[in-house]
Amino acid sequence: MKELLGQVDLYNRESASYDKAEVYQELDQKNFDDFDQLWQPMLAKRGAEVHSLAEAANANVQDARWDWVGKAKVAAMMMGQETFAVECGETQGLMLVNLNGFGQIEVQKGRELIYIELLATAPWNRHKLVASPRYKGVGRILIATAISLSIDSGFHGRLGLHSLPQSESWYRNEAKFTDLGLDAPKRMHYFEVTVDQAKAFLEDK
């Protein structure tokens, strides 16, 4: 069942102030409707305007075919999966995580971690997709939520994820996660977060 985890501040670029948003664990019909009726049309429209995969990657419409609804319904029945939503009126961001991940870097090889399967911000918040994106901070909130889940699950903040290309620099330079390089089969960079990196990520400085 959908559960409110807390209220968070989301930066509204239009008003240059912070709006109150909510973080929920487990998606419900409102999130599915927002994805189908608000996200999908924008992603599909932009996708139809580009002529190559390179343009599509740059327009940041990779998730146009991610089946959030199907995946969230399966996750609700699985012990090892959790879904999260950030809402501020509409659904501003979605995340699907797997609790059955294992560490690959030496310091935590074989140790349990939270693996982020999917993480996406609403299309109107993406600066590569719209001229004036609405909210900033959705991705950071979801990453911090995943680390919180890792702490509460006894994994001490350990996290793993495959980054979309346009996000790699943020994970590497801002979040300071470990970049394990290109994962050949997935053709994406794999990032991992150690216990110390998770602590540093959540520090007030």
Which CB atom, from 108 or from 201, has the smaller least distance to other proteins? 201
Q: Report the alpha-carbon angle 179-94-194, nearest 5.
A: 30
CA pair distance 83, 116, nearest whole angstrom:
10
Which CB atom, from 104 or from 167, has the smaller least distance to other proteins? 167
In angstroms, give the least distance from the CB of 197 to other proteins: 14
Which CB atom, from 105 or from 144, has the smaller least distance to other proteins? 144
CA pair distance 193, 199, nearest whole angstrom:
10
In angstroms, give the least distance from the CB of 151 to other proteins: 5
In angstroms, give the least distance from the CB of 139 to other proteins: 3
CA pair distance 198, 136, nearest whole angstrom:
21
Amino acid identity of 114? Answer: I
In angstroms, give the least distance from the CB of 202 to other proteins: 6
The number of CA neighbours under 13 Å toward the Cβ of 146 is: 29
Which CB atom, from 10 or from 108, has the smaller least distance to other proteins? 10
CA pair distance 23, 46, nearest whole angstrom:
28
